[in-house]
Amino acid sequence: MNEERQITYDELAQLTEHLSYQDKLRLAQRLMQLAKEDEQNPERGEFAASFNATSPETIQYVVERIKKLKPIKKKALLNVIGAMFHFQGVISDLDKEKIIAELQQQGYITIGEYDRVTYLK
């Protein structure tokens, strides 16, 4: 199983030395945004630690919502899934892909030519 590695402050500080001025400002803004979200929603970190993209509860939660929204393209589906978990915390692209794979495996959707989403159930 692929697990995401935690990066340390020292590693991040070293990596940021090579960023351009503009990228350093963008990173600073992102870090401030994340800190504000953590302050407003302390459960966010707990959510990320306990989140399981392929759990039956997660899949059912996603299924109920995509049945109503029915995004047509895979990119739109990825955006919808990301928006579903926005308030609990940022969901990784890998987790979004895992959810889509599970939706396909369970027969809720197929993704065909030109990344078009078809709803089966």
Closest CA to 106 of 40, 34, 58, 72: 58
The reply to whether 1 and 60 lie within a common domain is no
Which SS3 state, helix, strand or coil, does residue 94 take? helix
pTM over 0.75: no
pLDDT higher than threshold 70 for residue 37:
no
Residue 44: what pLDDT?
47
Residues 71 and 106 in one domain: yes
46 part of a folded domain:
no
For 89-107, write each residue's pLDDT tens digit. 668 889 999 999 999 999 9
Amino acid making up residue 106: Q
Which has the higher per-residue pLDDT, 99 or 7?
99
Domain span at residue 22 reads 1-40
